[in-house]
Every structure is written in structure tokens, then in C-alpha cells.
Structure 1
């Protein structure tokens, strides 16, 4: 809802509308209904979009507001993304310890994200990972109740909820975030020219360049919600720099690579994906369709 309110504020500012010109319609996603199992076991990222897709397709809503990192890489052709809002903090925050090194030996770490679990176990194989799902408040409550010693939350989410004091942001040098993290993606029907035009006014071109490159990497890797992949892509001037790492689920194996390219030069991204998969041992490659 915080993301929806930001979207409404930007639309109203761009078009000179009063706030009541944009109605916010809460939709409870399947991903919020089942919290005791990892998403990968109950339907993957589609659980965050299927209700919104149905309402959008039926015309009950004009646009959907998503956390971009929770949107499937391949989307139905009947929808498209006319706007990505300016990227917020892309980092993960560690909650419960001041740094990765300060996590107690043998600590229980709560997360349901394969990337976070594998990256942690690669750096701290002494830790134990347990499933931890729910919104920010739910996960902080579980942590306070002792279900885990530490957990991870997206810095952008904490920032939008004014809870930046809850954790310690992890630099990308030691901890690579998820593809599309920190980005609000706004989707509408591809044949809805009026809404597309309205949304285009709030699209942030630098964020779009980074996001399209990151999603192109995921598509080239053939990853699924089971695939532990971390990626960061940063635009500086006209040059994008992408660093990506693939892990085995247990964290024992890790490979990474970096590529520099200009906006729209997605062949370079696909080349990075091919290189990573060519170097990946079976413990990694088996979790990417392109590696079959």
C-alpha cells in the first residue's frame, strides 16, 4: 500500500490531479495468504501477481503496482510496464546483527529466499536457515519472538515504512541483492492507450535501463523461483555495469562475473549469462533451465 500511495502521489503531481482522482484498491495476493512454506513450494512469484492479473484483465482496475523483484520474468503479452519509478535503496538489510561477521556461530537465520539462503551459507556455512515469510511487520514479530536469531529485509521496504533503524544495510561488495530490488513496477493492459500515456509521464528512464538489463539476465539464465541468483546493475553516464553471482542452494558452490555495456546492449547481458552457465558446476547449473 505504501508503494501504491507513492504511485498515486507521482501520478497526481505529474498531471495536476487531486488525490481523489486515483482510487487505491487493496488486493490480497495468494503470496500473503500462505506464510508457512517457501514460495517455491506453492507456486512461485505468480502468487504475487495472479489476483492482480485477474482484476486487471477484467477491467476492475486500470493498473497494478508491484515490487519489481516479485514479478515473474516472463509476463502475459496482454500486459506491459509503462512505468518504473526511481529506484530506491537496492540493498538488503541484516536484522539482528551488526554485520555478517557478527552473526553468532551456529545462528538460526530466517529467510524464504533461495538467493539469501545460498549467499548466506556460502559466507557462513555454520548457520542454519529456516523458512521465514510474511510482510515486514510479521517477520520482525517472528524475530522478536525468537523464531530466528537474524533475518534479512529489503532496505527499500524498510525505508518506505519509515523503519530504517530496524537493520544494517549490506554493501553490494560483500552481499549482492536481488534482480529488480528497490524498484516499483507499474503495469497496465497493453491495449489501454490512455492509461499507458498517463503512466509514461512518471517512468524513470535510468531505472528502466537497469531493470530491463537485470530481467534480461534472468531470462537468459532460465532461472525460476528455486534458482539462487544475485545481480546488481548500475548505470553511470551511458554505461551499465552488471555483476552477477550464481549459487548452489546449499551455498557450497558460487560463480560470478561482471560485464560493462551501453543502454539496450542486451547481447552483452546474454553473453554474461552464457559464460556463467558454461562455468557453472552441475550443483549450480541444474537449477537453471538454460543449463539443462
Structure 2
């Protein structure tokens, strides 16, 4: 039996300002629960931070932000890692597990611009920046007169690109802006009906080495069951479609007591084809609800849309 509660904890984190905020937030939450515990943060750079000239869908997807953190845990240099759940692969490598799903922040997308009040206000030909094929598909479908261009880099870098005039507007996650005290940059909130969020958007997750039961017990007070139920339903849909950064897929669940409502959408990157579905189910079986919604999507030709997405991705990479 390992020491409980542990006297020392090391959190490994990416070094971006948002990632460090997340690690510090978890550190402070743990410290409040266990004042005698010594907690430090180990900063590291991931491949996802280093490759900024290509979209994630073209360089390996979400796992680019995770691998180096897992290596630090596997080598015993760190005990846990804090992630944005939406950046986590659907299947974790052997030897790791998600121990905690924390309370969800605002899951919506934000319209950010220095000159325009909303997407509706943008003139024809205006350039909108986004790192997400999901957001790209939404904009292309609803605003075909706009030009969507890739937007990479950390949050501060993305905002600086907007401020120097590279884009008329950019779309970001509300949660990240809120966490860094940048709420004032938001000109317009995109409701789920306008831009259905990504699975896990706004939710922090804590990853640990598998089998560390004493660590899981140590972190248990940070777990939020409603957020865990919602994310399980959302990620269930995503997992069925093998979702990655190459697939414009959205899934958003809301929990009301013992019931869960799940909405999901899959589209081609150009927004020309899409399928949407929703259903309600028991909070005791969120994965089953995800499977139900996935089946509804398949009944609306989601598999054909998925094949078109993969064909486009293959063509662009060849």
C-alpha cells in the first residue's frame, strides 16, 4: 500500500499559459484538500505545441498534445496530467486512465473580433480563423460567403494573429477565454443550436497511471459526476465514429437529474453534407445513449459522410 494521502505530488503540464492555468487550478484544488501535501508542476513541450504550420488533422490529431505528458508519468517523473478533455484521444494508451472528470466550464464557442459583432455581421469574403474542422463545417454550411482559414498556436498566439489583421474574426472555446480572464474579448456567444460543441468541450480531465488506486482515491473529491456522465455520452458517439481531428463531429450532452439529453452532428469539412440526431436516456447508462444517437446518425447516412471525410483527408495528405 502506497502512502495515503501522499506527501508529494508532481503534475505534468504543457507550458502554454492556458495549460499552466489548468495545472495550477488543479494544484490549488488539491492543496485546499490536503494542506500538508507538497505539489509541484513539471512543464514540458509537446509535438502539438511545436508543429504550428499545419492543422492537427494533417499532423496526427489530438494525441500530439498528450504523449510527452504520458511519458513523464510512465518514467515516474510525474504522478498526474491535466488535460482539456476535448483534446484527449477516445482511447488511452495501455497503462493510463482518466481518474477524474472535473466540473464543466461554459462549453460554448465564442465569436471573437475587433471589428464585427457576430458572424452575421461579417461581409462577403471576410476571413474567419479556426483550428477545428467542426467549426469550419458549421461556418461553411451557414455562411458560404465567408472564407475559413486554419488558425494554430496557443490562445495568446491566436488572439495576436487576430489583432494584427490576419483574420476578420476567430472562433475560440469560451472556457479557455474565461479561464485566462479574457472574457472581454468575446463579442458573441454561439449557442449549441448554432455551433454544437465538441465532445468534452469546457471540461478538464485528470489522467494518471493505471492501477494507482491510492492516487484515484486521493483525487476523488475533485470528480464531478454530472460532467462525467455528459462526457461519457459525448465520447461514446465520438468513439463509434473513430472521431479524430479529421472528422467534423460534435456531441453535446446535458444532465437533468437522472436524465441525459444528447445531441450530435457529423458533417463534411465543406459543410455540404451533414447529419444530426438527438435522444434522451438514463444517466446510469450514458454510453448506451451515445450508441443510440450514433445509430440514429448512421440511419441518416453518417457512414457515407464519414467516408467522404476520410477520402478528403487522404487526398490532402497524398
Judge same fold: TM > 0.5, yes or no.
yes
Corresponding residue for 1:46?
Answer: 63
Please give the residue correspondences for 1:266-285 in structure 2 after superposition, counting only pairs within 5 Å.
266-280=287-301, 284-285=305-306
Write out per-residue CA displacement over residues 95-137 of structure 1, whole angstroms, 9 at most, x where no aligned residue.
Answer: 1132221122221111121101111111101111111101111
Corresponding residue for 2:169?
Answer: 150
For the pair 1:213 / 2:213, whether they are aligned, the reply is no
SS for the counterpart of 1:279 is: coil
By how many angstroms is 1:248 displaced?
1.0
Q: Distance in 1 between matches of 2:224 and 2:82?
A: 15
The answer on whether the counterparts of 2:128 and 2:169 sit within 8 Å (CA) in structure 1 is yes
User: Structure 1: where are the runs of 5+ without partners?
Assistant: none
Write out per-residue CA displacement over residues 175-213 of structure 1, whole angstroms, 9 at most, x where no aligned residue.
Answer: 211110000100101122222111112111111111111
Corresponding residue for 2:122?
Answer: 103
Q: Distance in 2 between matches of 1:31 and 1:215?
A: 21
SS for the counterpart of 1:286 is: helix
Corresponding residue for 1:25?
Answer: 42
Question: Structure 1 70/287 Cα, relative in aligned 2: closer, same or farther at 3 Å?
Answer: farther
Question: Structure 1 110/283 Cα, relative in aligned 2: closer, same or farther at 3 Å?
Answer: farther
Correspondence for 2:88 among 66, 71, 76:
71
Question: Structure 1 183/229 Cα, relative in aligned 2: closer, same or farther at 3 Å?
Answer: same
SS for the counterpart of 2:265 is: strand
Corresponding residue for 2:269?
Answer: 249
Aligned length: 287
Question: Structure 1 287/55 Cα, relative in aligned 2: closer, same or farther at 3 Å?
Answer: farther
By how many angstroms is 1:217 displaced?
0.9
Correspondence for 1:235 among 251, 255, 258:
255
Write out per-residue CA displacement over residues 251-277 of structure 1, whole angstroms, 9 at most, x where no aligned residue.
Answer: 111211111011132223212112212
TM-score (norm 1): 0.94
Question: Structure 1 74/282 Cα, relative in aligned 2: closer, same or farther at 3 Å?
Answer: closer
The answer on whether the counterparts of 2:235 and 2:290 sit within 8 Å (CA) in structure 1 is no
CA RMSD of aligned residues (A): 1.5
Q: Distance in 2 between matches of 1:257 and 1:108?
A: 30
User: Structure 2: where are the runs of 5+ without partners?
Assistant: 1-19, 311-318
Greater alpha carbon shift after TM alignment, 277-286 vs 109-118: 277-286
Correspondence for 2:160 among 141, 156, 178:
141
Write out per-residue CA displacement over residues 58-108 of structure 1, whole angstroms, 9 at most, x where no aligned residue.
Answer: 111000010110010011131111111110000010111322211222211
Question: Structure 1 87/17 Cα, relative in aligned 2: closer, same or farther at 3 Å?
Answer: farther
Q: Distance in 2 between matches of 1:121 and 1:207?
A: 30
Structure 1 or 2: more strand by fraction: 2
Question: Structure 1 281/154 Cα, relative in aligned 2: closer, same or farther at 3 Å?
Answer: closer
SS for the counterpart of 2:275 is: strand
Q: Distance in 2 between matches of 1:281 and 1:82?
A: 32
For the pair 1:261 / 2:261, whether they are aligned, the reply is no
Question: Structure 1 110/242 Cα, relative in aligned 2: closer, same or farther at 3 Å?
Answer: same
The answer on whether the counterparts of 1:122 and 1:254 sit within 8 Å (CA) in structure 2 is no
Q: Distance in 2 between matches of 1:55 and 1:87?
A: 26
By how many angstroms is 1:171 displaced?
1.1
Question: Structure 1 283/120 Cα, relative in aligned 2: closer, same or farther at 3 Å?
Answer: farther
The answer on whether the counterparts of 1:277 and 1:285 sit within 8 Å (CA) in structure 2 is no
The answer on whether the counterparts of 2:268 and 2:309 sit within 8 Å (CA) in structure 1 is no
